[in-house]
Amino acid sequence: MIGMTVLTSRPRVTTGPLSLPRPFWTLWLGIVINRSGAVVQPFLAVYLVRAQGFTSGQAGATMAAFGAGSLLSHVLAGALADRFGRRLTLTGGMLATSAAMVALGAAQGFTAVVVTAFLLGLTIESYRPASQAMVADLVSPESRPKAYGLLFWAMNLGYSIAMLTGGWLAGHGAQTMFGVNAAVALAFAFVVWRALPEPRRSEKAVASPGLRSVLRNRPMVVLCFSTAAYGVLYAQAFTTLPLAMAGQGIGRVDYGQAMALNGVLIVLIQPVATRWLARLNHVHVLATGTAVVSAGFALTALVHNALGLALTVVVWTAGEIIVAGALATIVAALAPAGLQGTYAGISGMSWAAGAALAPVVGTLLLPLGAGPLWCVMGAIGATSALATFLTAPAVHRRTTA
């Protein structure tokens, strides 16, 4: 038996816009701040090669260490959020992220950089399961699709800002880049600690450890595998897709402009779509969105120019917008009391595992040509969508019990 704290009552909070509690909007703002300054991760590989002088093999090993830490980060932070509380986990995770960021920026030599990159990976994603669990505590079940969709929007809005400023910061030196990223992590920690409540909790023993609970929850297990498959599919956009488009003669400028549509569409459409999609069956929404993403990547097999690429980006971005918020809502509904963080962490690890496999699968298929590559990716996405759809009756039974 593992002792852990269990939510006993939802805190009394006033509501803000869109009938969501004001603490939710505080969390939303903190995530925007944090993601707006998250400039190191997108440019980390470039930093390793240009500033540290690493070979491509050394840079790859360092990025693998970072990825391994990121995989563990989801599960560790989820368990800590259940054991010690969301507020403490969020604050501690961001403080640790800031320290790891400074350490990596100061590290010299292959061994030191690999170790600090692993530590950064171990801390940098800690806010995700803790924030998802906090939303489950603060927001009523019927409002969670809207809330989780808006969190997704916040992450993408912040990421768009980071991509606009990251290149400029990188041009002013690596220390500036690492310093800004460390500062925004501290700012997020300050916002959480000063302005977010921790729901009242009581000490209670939970008979099933988190992992055992997940393994006995068949809909959750299926969703984890579906999420990993979706991660393999979606992460192609940032791994194999640029290589495949270069082989098709599409230059970096055209590729960058087509990919910019993804962020623009999400920022413009996501808030409106979230309010409408929240009224629908969450499992059906998730399955439909996954199928649309799958179709978008499968259509890439027909791409021969920048316009064709842009059209496929529009299709799979539409699917991504549909998916946003649905998975987190389902996971929160399936999680027993006291295990919201653990379930969110394992779900996040599933996606991260798929994303880690994406370049391996994609580069193995790339030499076979565009047709086999994108048809296989479409099939992976279609399988994920079908498996998700088939969980609908079981999810309904568990969430209404």
**pLDDT for residue 221:** 94
pLDDT in tens, 337-376: 889 999 999 999 999 999 888 888 988 898 998 899 999 9
The residues, ordered by sequence, that sit 6+ positions from 354 with a Cβ below 8 Å of its Cβ are 227, 228, 229, 230, 231, 232, 233, 234, 235
**pLDDT for residue 11:** 42
pLDDT in tens, 20-35: 888 999 999 999 999 8
pLDDT of 228 strictly over 90? yes
> What top-level class would CATH report for the domain 209-401?
mainly alpha
Identify whether the C-beta of residue 85 lies closer than 8 Å to the C-beta of residue 202. no
Identify whether the C-beta of residue 351 lies closer than 8 Å to the C-beta of residue 132. no
Tokens of 219: 């809909």
At 11, which amino acid appears? P
Q: What is the largest CA-CA distance in the chain?
A: 61
**pLDDT for residue 199:** 62
Q: For the residues 260-288, what does the mean pLDDT come to?
A: 88
Tokens of 392: 């609908």
- Give the 3-state secondary structure of residue 4: strand
Identify whether the C-beta of residue 309 lies closer than 8 Å to the C-beta of residue 276. no
Taking alpha carbons only, the member of 198, 227, 226, 219 closest to residue 336 is: 219
Measured CA to CA, the distance from residue 316 to residue 182 in angstroms comes to 33
More confident residue, 172 or 307: 307
Q: For the residues 95-117, what does the mean pLDDT come to?
A: 94
Tell me the torsion sign for CA atoms 331, 238, 355, 24.
Answer: negative
> Global pTM?
0.85
Give the residue range(s) of CATH 1.20.1250.20 domains in the chain: 16-199, 209-401
Q: For the residues 10-15, what does the mean pLDDT come to?
A: 44
Taking alpha carbons only, the member of 135, 249, 217, 228 closest to residue 401 is: 217
> What are residue 215's phi and psi, to 5 degrees?
-65, -25
- Helical residues (DSSP H) of 10-109, grouped into ranges: 22-36, 40-50, 56-84, 86-106
Q: Which helix H or strand E contains 401, and what residues bound it?
A: none
- Give the 3-state secondary structure of residue 2: strand
Tokens of 7: 């939510």
With tokens 């946003």, the residue in question is 324
Tokens of 46: 């470039």
Render 140-199 in DSSP notation, one character per residue.
-GGGHHHHHHHHHHHHHHHHHHHHHHHHHHHHT-HHHHHHHHHHHHHHHHHHHHHH----
The residues, ordered by sequence, that sit 6+ positions from 42 with a Cβ below 8 Å of its Cβ are 162, 163, 166
Do strands 201-206 and 2-7 pair parallel, antiparallel, or not at all (unpaired)? Answer: antiparallel
Q: For the residues 259-284, what does the mean pLDDT come to?
A: 87
Burial 134-160 (b: 16+ CB within 10 A, else e): bbbbbbeeebbbbbbbbbbbbbbbbbb
Measured CA to CA, the distance from residue 338 to residue 6 in angstroms comes to 4
Measured CA to CA, the distance from residue 257 to residue 319 in angstroms comes to 19
Measured CA to CA, the distance from residue 121 to residue 172 in angstroms comes to 24
At 317, which amino acid appears? T
Considering the domain 16-199 in this protein, what is its CATH number?
A: 1.20.1250.20
Residue 18: band (very low, low, confident or very high) from pLDDT cuts 50, 70, 90: low
